[in-house]
Protein backbone atom coordinates (compact mmCIF):
# COMPACT_ATOMS: atom_id res chain seq x y z
CA UNK A 1 0.00 0.00 0.00
CA UNK A 2 1.43 3.37 -0.99
CA UNK A 3 1.73 6.09 1.63
CA UNK A 4 1.07 9.60 0.43
CA UNK A 5 -0.88 12.77 1.13
CA UNK A 6 -2.70 15.19 -1.23
CA UNK A 7 -0.55 18.10 -0.03
CA UNK A 8 2.65 16.25 -0.90
CA UNK A 9 1.20 15.50 -4.33
CA UNK A 10 0.44 19.23 -4.70
CA UNK A 11 4.00 20.36 -3.96
CA UNK A 12 5.44 17.60 -6.18
CA UNK A 13 3.30 18.92 -9.03
CA UNK A 14 4.58 22.46 -8.38
CA UNK A 15 8.19 21.23 -8.34
CA UNK A 16 7.69 19.61 -11.75
CA UNK A 17 6.40 22.94 -13.06
CA UNK A 18 9.44 24.71 -11.57
CA UNK A 19 11.76 22.28 -13.37
CA UNK A 20 9.92 22.86 -16.65
CA UNK A 21 10.20 26.65 -16.27
CA UNK A 22 13.91 26.63 -15.42
CA UNK A 23 14.75 24.10 -18.17
CA UNK A 24 13.72 26.74 -20.75
CA UNK A 25 15.73 29.52 -19.02
CA UNK A 26 12.57 30.90 -17.43
CA UNK A 27 12.57 32.57 -14.02
CA UNK A 28 10.48 31.70 -11.00
CA UNK A 29 9.47 35.04 -9.51
CA UNK A 30 7.38 36.09 -6.50
CA UNK A 31 4.00 36.05 -8.25
CA UNK A 32 4.54 32.93 -10.32
CA UNK A 33 1.25 31.02 -10.26
CA UNK A 34 2.84 27.69 -9.30
CA UNK A 35 4.99 29.27 -6.60
CA UNK A 36 1.90 30.77 -4.95
CA UNK A 37 0.26 27.32 -5.03
CA UNK A 38 3.45 25.86 -3.59
CA UNK A 39 3.50 28.47 -0.82
CA UNK A 40 -0.12 27.80 0.13
CA UNK A 41 0.60 24.07 0.33
CA UNK A 42 3.61 24.76 2.58
CA UNK A 43 1.40 26.86 4.86
CA UNK A 44 -0.89 23.88 5.36
CA UNK A 45 1.92 21.34 5.76
CA UNK A 46 3.82 23.37 8.37
CA UNK A 47 0.64 24.20 10.33
CA UNK A 48 -1.07 20.79 10.19
CA UNK A 49 -0.79 18.94 13.46
CA UNK A 50 1.33 21.67 15.04
CA UNK A 51 1.41 21.59 18.83
CA UNK A 52 0.71 25.31 18.99
CA UNK A 53 0.02 25.50 22.75
CA UNK A 54 2.71 24.03 24.96
CA UNK A 55 2.33 24.16 28.73
CA UNK A 56 5.32 25.09 30.84
CA UNK A 57 5.57 25.35 34.61
CA UNK A 58 4.16 28.87 34.81
CA UNK A 59 2.54 29.71 31.46
CA UNK A 60 1.35 28.40 28.10
CA UNK A 61 3.86 28.83 25.29
CA UNK A 62 2.56 29.59 21.79
CA UNK A 63 4.40 27.84 18.97
CA UNK A 64 4.04 28.59 15.25
CA UNK A 65 6.08 27.41 12.23
CA UNK A 66 8.34 30.47 12.28
CA UNK A 67 9.03 30.10 16.00
CA UNK A 68 10.27 26.52 15.80
CA UNK A 69 12.21 27.16 12.57
CA UNK A 70 14.09 29.96 14.32
CA UNK A 71 14.72 27.82 17.41
CA UNK A 72 16.62 25.33 15.23
CA UNK A 73 19.57 27.73 14.85
CA UNK A 74 20.41 27.27 18.55
CA UNK A 75 21.44 23.69 17.80
CA UNK A 76 25.10 22.86 17.29
CA UNK A 77 24.21 20.14 14.80
CA UNK A 78 26.15 20.11 11.52
CA UNK A 79 22.80 19.82 9.74
CA UNK A 80 22.05 23.46 10.59
CA UNK A 81 24.17 25.22 7.97
CA UNK A 82 25.60 28.73 7.93
CA UNK A 83 23.33 29.57 4.99
CA UNK A 84 20.26 28.70 7.03
CA UNK A 85 21.43 30.70 10.03
CA UNK A 86 22.06 33.66 7.72
CA UNK A 87 18.51 33.39 6.33
CA UNK A 88 17.08 33.47 9.87
CA UNK A 89 19.19 36.53 10.73
CA UNK A 90 18.00 38.36 7.61
CA UNK A 91 14.35 37.75 8.49
CA UNK A 92 14.87 38.76 12.12
CA UNK A 93 16.36 42.07 10.95
CA UNK A 94 13.57 42.77 8.48
CA UNK A 95 11.13 45.38 9.76
CA UNK A 96 8.68 44.94 6.88
CA UNK A 97 7.33 41.55 7.97
CA UNK A 98 4.81 42.52 10.64
CA UNK A 99 3.94 39.15 12.22
CA UNK A 100 5.12 35.55 12.35
CA UNK A 101 2.98 34.52 9.39
CA UNK A 102 4.83 37.07 7.25
CA UNK A 103 8.18 36.09 8.80
CA UNK A 104 7.57 32.41 8.09
CA UNK A 105 6.78 33.14 4.43
CA UNK A 106 9.77 35.45 4.09
CA UNK A 107 12.03 32.81 5.69
CA UNK A 108 10.73 30.25 3.19
CA UNK A 109 11.61 32.59 0.32
CA UNK A 110 15.07 33.31 1.72
CA UNK A 111 15.68 29.57 2.16
CA UNK A 112 14.55 28.81 -1.39
CA UNK A 113 16.96 31.42 -2.76
CA UNK A 114 19.79 30.08 -0.57
CA UNK A 115 18.79 26.43 -1.26
CA UNK A 116 18.39 25.43 2.38
CA UNK A 117 14.65 24.99 3.00
CA UNK A 118 15.27 21.33 3.80
CA UNK A 119 17.54 22.19 6.77
CA UNK A 120 14.95 22.75 9.57
CA UNK A 121 12.86 19.72 8.56
CA UNK A 122 15.95 17.55 8.19
CA UNK A 123 17.10 18.59 11.67
CA UNK A 124 13.79 17.60 13.28
CA UNK A 125 13.60 14.30 11.43
CA UNK A 126 17.23 13.20 11.87
CA UNK A 127 17.37 14.21 15.53
CA UNK A 128 13.97 12.55 16.14
CA UNK A 129 12.51 15.72 17.65
CA UNK A 130 9.43 16.07 15.47
CA UNK A 131 7.30 15.00 18.48
CA UNK A 132 8.22 18.28 20.21
CA UNK A 133 6.23 20.30 17.69
CA UNK A 134 3.92 17.95 15.69
CA UNK A 135 1.43 15.19 16.38
CA UNK A 136 2.06 11.83 14.71
CA UNK A 137 -0.87 12.26 12.31
CA UNK A 138 0.73 15.27 10.60
CA UNK A 139 3.03 15.18 7.58
CA UNK A 140 6.09 16.39 9.48
CA UNK A 141 5.19 14.29 12.54
CA UNK A 142 4.68 11.05 10.57
CA UNK A 143 7.78 8.86 10.18
CA UNK A 144 7.15 7.95 6.53
CA UNK A 145 5.45 11.13 5.25
CA UNK A 146 8.18 13.31 6.76
CA UNK A 147 10.81 11.40 4.75
CA UNK A 148 8.80 11.81 1.54
CA UNK A 149 8.36 15.53 2.26
CA UNK A 150 12.07 15.86 2.99
CA UNK A 151 12.97 14.22 -0.33
CA UNK A 152 10.86 16.84 -2.14
CA UNK A 153 12.65 19.62 -0.26
CA UNK A 154 16.03 18.13 -1.30
CA UNK A 155 14.85 18.28 -4.91
CA UNK A 156 13.80 21.92 -4.49
CA UNK A 157 17.29 22.83 -3.28
CA UNK A 158 18.54 22.27 -6.83
CA UNK A 159 16.19 24.88 -8.34
CA UNK A 160 16.97 28.59 -8.76
CA UNK A 161 14.41 31.13 -7.55
CA UNK A 162 14.38 34.81 -8.45
CA UNK A 163 12.56 36.67 -5.66
CA UNK A 164 12.50 40.30 -4.56
CA UNK A 165 13.21 39.68 -0.88
CA UNK A 166 12.63 43.36 -0.04
CA UNK A 167 8.96 43.05 -1.06
CA UNK A 168 7.60 41.55 2.14
CA UNK A 169 5.16 44.08 3.64
CA UNK A 170 2.04 42.13 2.66
CA UNK A 171 3.22 38.56 3.27
CA UNK A 172 1.00 38.41 6.34
CA UNK A 173 -1.99 38.65 3.95
CA UNK A 174 -0.92 36.75 0.86
CA UNK A 175 1.86 34.94 -0.95
CA UNK A 176 1.16 37.33 -3.83
CA UNK A 177 3.13 40.57 -3.48
CA UNK A 178 2.18 44.02 -4.80
CA UNK A 179 4.07 46.00 -7.42
CA UNK A 180 6.53 48.29 -5.63
CA UNK A 181 7.60 51.65 -7.03
CA UNK A 182 10.72 53.32 -5.67
CA UNK A 183 10.78 57.07 -6.17
CA UNK A 184 13.45 59.69 -5.47
CA UNK A 185 12.16 63.23 -4.96
CA UNK A 186 13.98 66.48 -4.34
CA UNK A 187 13.92 67.96 -0.80
CA UNK A 188 10.76 69.91 -0.03
CA UNK A 189 8.66 71.14 2.90
CA UNK A 190 5.58 69.18 1.86
CA UNK A 191 5.27 66.18 -0.45
CA UNK A 192 1.58 66.87 -1.06
CA UNK A 193 0.43 63.47 0.28
CA UNK A 194 -2.35 62.75 2.75
CA UNK A 195 -2.44 59.30 4.34
CA UNK A 196 -4.91 57.44 6.51
CA UNK A 197 -3.97 54.36 8.53
CA UNK A 198 -5.88 51.10 8.29
CA UNK A 199 -4.31 48.73 10.75
CA UNK A 200 -0.57 48.78 10.10
CA UNK A 201 -0.77 50.33 6.63
CA UNK A 202 -0.59 53.98 5.56
CA UNK A 203 -3.00 54.35 2.63
CA UNK A 204 -2.58 57.42 0.44
CA UNK A 205 -6.00 59.10 0.37
CA UNK A 206 -5.06 62.14 -1.72
CA UNK A 207 -2.22 63.52 -3.84
CA UNK A 208 -2.25 67.31 -4.15
CA UNK A 209 -2.14 68.58 -7.73
CA UNK A 210 1.06 70.43 -8.70
CA UNK A 211 2.86 68.94 -5.69
CA UNK A 212 6.26 67.26 -5.70
CA UNK A 213 4.59 63.86 -5.19
CA UNK A 214 2.31 64.34 -8.21
CA UNK A 215 5.06 65.33 -10.62
CA UNK A 216 5.94 61.95 -12.16
CA UNK A 217 2.45 60.44 -11.85
CA UNK A 218 3.67 57.26 -10.12
CA UNK A 219 1.84 57.92 -6.84
CA UNK A 220 -1.94 57.52 -6.82
CA UNK A 221 -4.75 57.67 -4.31
CA UNK A 222 -5.20 54.16 -2.88
CA UNK A 223 -1.52 53.24 -3.01
CA UNK A 224 0.21 52.34 0.25
CA UNK A 225 3.19 54.33 1.53
CA UNK A 226 5.55 51.47 2.40
CA UNK A 227 8.79 53.29 3.19
CA UNK A 228 9.86 56.90 3.69
CA UNK A 229 13.60 57.59 3.64
CA UNK A 230 14.30 53.91 4.29
CA UNK A 231 11.98 53.64 7.32
CA UNK A 232 9.13 51.14 7.09
CA UNK A 233 5.82 52.92 7.69
CA UNK A 234 3.34 51.32 10.12
CA UNK A 235 0.94 52.41 12.85
CA UNK A 236 3.85 53.43 15.10
CA UNK A 237 4.76 56.05 12.45
CA UNK A 238 1.62 58.09 13.12
CA UNK A 239 2.62 61.64 13.95
CA UNK A 240 6.23 61.03 12.89
CA UNK A 241 5.94 61.29 9.11
CA UNK A 242 6.85 64.98 9.00
CA UNK A 243 9.89 64.31 11.20
CA UNK A 244 10.99 61.54 8.82
CA UNK A 245 10.54 63.95 5.93
CA UNK A 246 12.62 66.66 7.57
CA UNK A 247 15.33 64.25 8.71
CA UNK A 248 16.96 64.32 5.28
CA UNK A 249 17.06 68.13 5.07
CA UNK A 250 18.77 68.95 1.75
CA UNK A 251 19.13 65.31 0.67
CA UNK A 252 16.77 63.62 -1.84
CA UNK A 253 13.62 62.04 -0.39
CA UNK A 254 13.17 58.33 -1.07
CA UNK A 255 9.73 56.74 -1.14
CA UNK A 256 8.62 53.16 -1.65
CA UNK A 257 4.98 52.83 -2.68
CA UNK A 258 2.92 49.62 -2.98
CA UNK A 259 0.54 49.93 -5.92
CA UNK A 260 -3.14 49.18 -5.45
CA UNK A 261 -3.94 48.84 -9.15
CA UNK A 262 -2.19 47.62 -12.28
CA UNK A 263 -3.69 49.44 -15.31
CA UNK A 264 -1.93 47.14 -17.81
CA UNK A 265 -3.80 44.03 -16.63
CA UNK A 266 -6.66 46.03 -15.05
CA UNK A 267 -6.42 44.27 -11.70
CA UNK A 268 -6.42 45.39 -8.07
CA UNK A 269 -4.00 44.00 -5.54
CA UNK A 270 -6.61 42.39 -3.30
CA UNK A 271 -5.08 43.02 0.18
CA UNK A 272 -4.85 46.77 -0.55
CA UNK A 273 -8.32 46.79 -2.12
CA UNK A 274 -9.59 45.47 1.24
CA UNK A 275 -7.96 48.46 2.94
CA UNK A 276 -9.79 50.82 0.56
CA UNK A 277 -13.11 49.35 1.63
CA UNK A 278 -12.17 49.81 5.29
CA UNK A 279 -11.46 53.50 4.60
CA UNK A 280 -14.53 53.99 2.37
CA UNK A 281 -12.41 54.85 -0.67
CA UNK A 282 -14.26 54.38 -3.97
CA UNK A 283 -12.44 51.78 -6.10
CA UNK A 284 -14.00 53.22 -9.27
CA UNK A 285 -12.44 56.58 -8.41
CA UNK A 286 -9.06 54.87 -8.10
CA UNK A 287 -9.42 53.45 -11.62
CA UNK A 288 -10.53 56.81 -13.04
CA UNK A 289 -7.24 58.36 -11.89
CA UNK A 290 -5.37 56.39 -14.52
CA UNK A 291 -7.68 57.50 -17.35
CA UNK A 292 -7.39 61.12 -16.18
CA UNK A 293 -3.61 60.76 -16.00
CA UNK A 294 -3.50 59.48 -19.59
CA UNK A 295 -5.64 62.40 -20.75
CA UNK A 296 -3.43 64.86 -18.91
CA UNK A 297 -0.28 63.37 -20.44
CA UNK A 298 -1.80 63.57 -23.92
CA UNK A 299 -2.64 67.22 -23.32
CA UNK A 300 0.86 67.93 -22.05
CA UNK A 301 2.37 66.38 -25.17
CA UNK A 302 0.25 68.66 -27.31
CA UNK A 303 1.18 71.87 -25.49
CA UNK A 304 3.26 72.36 -22.37
CA UNK A 305 5.98 74.84 -21.44
CA UNK A 306 7.55 77.45 -23.69
CA UNK A 307 8.77 77.22 -27.28
CA UNK A 308 12.31 78.63 -27.37
CA UNK A 309 15.50 78.30 -29.43
CA UNK A 310 18.24 76.14 -27.96
CA UNK A 311 21.35 78.09 -29.02
CA UNK A 312 24.08 75.90 -27.56
CA UNK A 313 25.97 74.84 -24.45
CA UNK A 314 29.28 75.90 -22.92
CA UNK A 315 31.72 73.95 -20.78
CA UNK A 316 32.15 76.27 -17.78
CA UNK A 317 34.31 73.90 -15.71
CA UNK A 318 34.05 73.32 -11.98
CA UNK A 319 32.11 76.48 -11.16
CA UNK A 320 28.41 76.85 -11.98
CA UNK A 321 27.88 80.39 -10.66
CA UNK A 322 25.67 83.14 -12.11
CA UNK A 323 28.84 84.84 -13.38
CA UNK A 324 29.51 81.77 -15.52
CA UNK A 325 26.02 82.10 -17.03
CA UNK A 326 26.82 85.69 -18.06
CA UNK A 327 30.17 84.64 -19.58
CA UNK A 328 28.55 81.76 -21.44
CA UNK A 329 25.82 84.05 -22.86
CA UNK A 330 28.45 86.47 -24.11
CA UNK A 331 30.52 83.68 -25.67
CA UNK A 332 27.51 82.47 -27.68
CA UNK A 333 25.86 85.80 -28.53
CA UNK A 334 28.89 88.00 -29.15
CA UNK A 335 31.06 85.62 -31.09
CA UNK A 336 31.14 85.82 -34.90
CA UNK A 337 32.77 82.39 -35.15
CA UNK A 338 31.13 80.28 -37.88
CA UNK A 339 32.28 76.91 -36.53
CA UNK A 340 29.90 74.79 -34.44
CA UNK A 341 32.61 74.23 -31.78
CA UNK A 342 35.09 76.92 -30.81
CA UNK A 343 36.90 78.57 -27.90
CA UNK A 344 35.71 81.86 -26.41
CA UNK A 345 36.54 83.57 -23.08
CA UNK A 346 38.63 80.52 -22.20
CA UNK A 347 35.66 78.17 -22.56
CA UNK A 348 34.62 75.54 -25.12
CA UNK A 349 31.43 76.60 -26.91
CA UNK A 350 29.12 74.23 -28.79
CA UNK A 351 26.78 76.27 -30.96
CA UNK A 352 23.34 74.87 -31.88
CA UNK A 353 20.15 76.26 -33.35
CA UNK A 354 17.28 73.97 -32.45
CA UNK A 355 13.64 74.72 -31.70
CA UNK A 356 12.72 73.16 -28.36
CA UNK A 357 10.01 73.12 -25.74
CA UNK A 358 11.17 74.32 -22.31
CA UNK A 359 9.12 72.44 -19.67
CA UNK A 360 9.22 73.69 -16.07
CA UNK A 361 8.04 71.15 -13.52
CA UNK A 362 7.82 70.81 -9.77
CA UNK A 363 11.14 68.96 -9.49
CA UNK A 364 13.12 70.22 -12.48
CA UNK A 365 13.19 71.22 -16.14
CA UNK A 366 12.98 69.19 -19.34
CA UNK A 367 13.96 70.34 -22.82
CA UNK A 368 12.18 68.56 -25.69
CA UNK A 369 12.90 68.63 -29.39
CA UNK A 370 9.79 70.21 -30.93
CA UNK A 371 9.82 67.92 -33.98
CA UNK A 372 10.51 64.54 -32.36
CA UNK A 373 9.20 65.29 -28.81
CA UNK A 374 12.40 63.61 -27.56
CA UNK A 375 13.78 64.81 -24.22
CA UNK A 376 17.26 66.17 -24.95
CA UNK A 377 17.95 67.75 -21.53
CA UNK A 378 16.55 66.72 -18.15
CA UNK A 379 17.81 68.42 -14.97
CA UNK A 380 16.32 68.40 -11.49
CA UNK A 381 16.67 71.60 -9.48
CA UNK A 382 19.28 69.78 -7.40
CA UNK A 383 21.37 69.56 -10.58
CA UNK A 384 20.95 73.23 -11.55
CA UNK A 385 23.37 75.58 -9.79
CA UNK A 386 22.34 78.95 -11.24
CA UNK A 387 20.37 80.75 -13.94
CA UNK A 388 20.33 84.24 -15.38
CA UNK A 389 20.45 86.57 -18.38
CA UNK A 390 22.00 89.81 -19.66
CA UNK A 391 20.32 93.26 -19.50
CA UNK A 392 21.33 93.99 -23.10
CA UNK A 393 19.86 90.70 -24.40
CA UNK A 394 16.56 90.33 -22.52
CA UNK A 395 15.24 87.55 -24.77
CA UNK A 396 18.21 85.32 -24.02
CA UNK A 397 18.86 83.34 -20.87
CA UNK A 398 20.73 80.29 -19.60
CA UNK A 399 21.25 77.96 -16.69
CA UNK A 400 24.24 76.03 -15.36
CA UNK A 401 23.65 72.35 -14.76
CA UNK A 402 25.39 69.06 -14.10
CA UNK A 403 24.66 65.35 -14.37
CA UNK A 404 25.16 65.10 -10.60
CA UNK A 405 23.75 67.03 -7.66
CA UNK A 406 25.45 70.42 -7.49
CA UNK A 407 26.92 69.89 -4.02
CA UNK A 408 29.07 67.01 -5.27
CA UNK A 409 29.64 67.94 -8.92
CA UNK A 410 32.96 69.16 -10.33
CA UNK A 411 31.80 69.66 -13.92
CA UNK A 412 29.15 72.13 -15.12
CA UNK A 413 27.75 73.16 -18.48
CA UNK A 414 25.77 76.30 -19.23
CA UNK A 415 22.80 75.85 -21.59
CA UNK A 416 21.81 78.91 -23.62
CA UNK A 417 18.32 79.68 -24.98
CA UNK A 418 16.48 82.44 -26.80
CA UNK A 419 12.81 83.22 -26.10
CA UNK A 420 10.42 85.05 -28.42
CA UNK A 421 10.05 87.94 -25.95
CA UNK A 422 11.95 89.30 -22.98
CA UNK A 423 8.89 88.87 -20.76
CA UNK A 424 8.83 85.16 -21.55
CA UNK A 425 12.49 84.79 -20.63
CA UNK A 426 11.80 86.58 -17.32
CA UNK A 427 8.93 84.18 -16.52
CA UNK A 428 11.12 81.14 -17.20
CA UNK A 429 13.92 82.46 -14.96
CA UNK A 430 11.44 83.31 -12.19
CA UNK A 431 9.95 79.81 -12.41
CA UNK A 432 13.39 78.20 -12.09
CA UNK A 433 14.05 80.46 -9.08
CA UNK A 434 10.81 79.29 -7.46
CA UNK A 435 11.93 75.72 -8.05
CA UNK A 436 15.15 76.45 -6.15
CA UNK A 437 13.23 77.81 -3.16
CA UNK A 438 10.68 74.99 -3.23
CA UNK A 439 13.39 72.34 -3.10
CA UNK A 440 15.50 74.11 -0.43
CA UNK A 441 18.53 74.31 -2.66
CA UNK A 442 20.73 77.33 -1.91
CA UNK A 443 22.02 78.83 -5.13
Asked, for residue 443, whether it belongs to a domain, the answer is no
**Which residue, 156, 189, 215, sits at the end of a domain?**
156
Report which of 200, 241, 188 is spatially closest to residue 224, judged by C-alpha positions: 200
Say whether both 195 and 294 belong to one domain.
yes
Say whether both 189 and 284 belong to one domain.
yes
Say whether both 349 and 407 belong to one domain.
yes
pLDDT in the model for residue 302: 43
Average pLDDT, 10 consecutive residues per value, the chain (443 residues): 78 95 92 95 96 63 90 93 96 92 97 97 95 93 95 96 95 95 81 89 89 84 92 84 71 89 91 93 90 54 73 93 93 84 90 91 85 90 90 92 86 95 90 68 31
**Which residue, 301, 321, 350, sits at the end of a domain?**
301
Asked, for residue 169, whether it belongs to a domain, the answer is no
CATH number at residue 114: 1.20.58.900
pLDDT in the model for residue 59: 54
pLDDT in the model for residue 304: 57
Residue 34: give the domain boundaries: 6-156
Report which of 260, 180, 255, 249 is spatially closest to residue 220, judged by C-alpha positions: 260
pLDDT in the model for residue 248: 64
Asked, for residue 330, whether it belongs to a domain, the answer is yes
pLDDT in the model for residue 298: 45
pLDDT in the model for residue 264: 86
Say whether both 370 and 245 belong to one domain.
no
**Which residue, 267, 301, 335, sits at the end of a domain?**
301
pLDDT in the model for residue 209: 81
pTM confidence score: 0.70
* Greatest pairwise CA separation for the chain in angstroms: 99
Dihedral pair phi/psi, residue 293, rounded to 5°: -65, -40
Say whether both 12 and 142 belong to one domain.
yes
Say whether both 259 and 337 belong to one domain.
no
| Separation between Cα atoms, residue 296 and residue 292, nearest integer Å | 6
Asked, for residue 166, whether it belongs to a domain, the answer is no
Q: Tell me 382's DSSP state.
A: G
| Residues in a beta bridge with 388 | 398
- How many structural domains is the chain composed of? 3
Asked, for residue 356, whether it belongs to a domain, the answer is yes
C-alpha separations of 106 from 117, 178, 193, 360 in Å = 12, 14, 30, 43
Asked, for residue 71, whether it belongs to a domain, the answer is yes
pLDDT in the model for residue 89: 97
Asked, for residue 164, whether it belongs to a domain, the answer is no
pLDDT in the model for residue 95: 84
| Separation between Cα atoms, residue 434 and residue 441, nearest integer Å | 10
Asked, for residue 161, whether it belongs to a domain, the answer is no
Say whether both 131 and 193 belong to one domain.
no
- Cβ pair 243, 251 in contact under 8 A: no
Dihedral pair phi/psi, residue 385, rounded to 5°: -95, -25
CATH number at residue 388: 2.30.29.30
Say whether both 204 and 111 belong to one domain.
no
pLDDT in the model for residue 154: 97
pLDDT in the model for residue 57: 47
Say whether both 28 and 149 belong to one domain.
yes
Say whether both 261 and 317 belong to one domain.
no
Say whether both 345 and 297 belong to one domain.
no
Say whether both 289 and 314 belong to one domain.
no
Report which of 320, 339, 285 is spatially closest to residue 398, judged by C-alpha positions: 320
pLDDT in the model for residue 4: 78
Dihedral pair phi/psi, residue 368, rounded to 5°: -110, 140
| Separation between Cα atoms, residue 291 and residue 44, nearest integer Å | 41
| Separation between Cα atoms, residue 31 and residue 181, nearest integer Å | 16
**Contacts with 281 (C-beta within 8 Å, 6 or more apart), sequence order:** 203, 205, 221, 222
Amino acid sequence: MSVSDPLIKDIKGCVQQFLTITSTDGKITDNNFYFVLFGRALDRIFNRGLLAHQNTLYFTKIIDPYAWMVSVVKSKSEIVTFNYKNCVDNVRNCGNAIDNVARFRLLVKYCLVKKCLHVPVEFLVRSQKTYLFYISGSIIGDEILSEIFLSVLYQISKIDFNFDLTNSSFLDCSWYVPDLVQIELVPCKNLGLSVSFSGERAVIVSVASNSVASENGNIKMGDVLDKLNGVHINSSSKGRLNNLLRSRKTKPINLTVAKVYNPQIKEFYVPIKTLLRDLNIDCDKVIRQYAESDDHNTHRNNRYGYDVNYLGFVNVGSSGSVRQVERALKSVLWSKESKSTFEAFGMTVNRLDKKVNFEIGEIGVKIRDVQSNEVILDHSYMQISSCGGLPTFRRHFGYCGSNENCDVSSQFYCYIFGASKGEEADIILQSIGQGFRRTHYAV
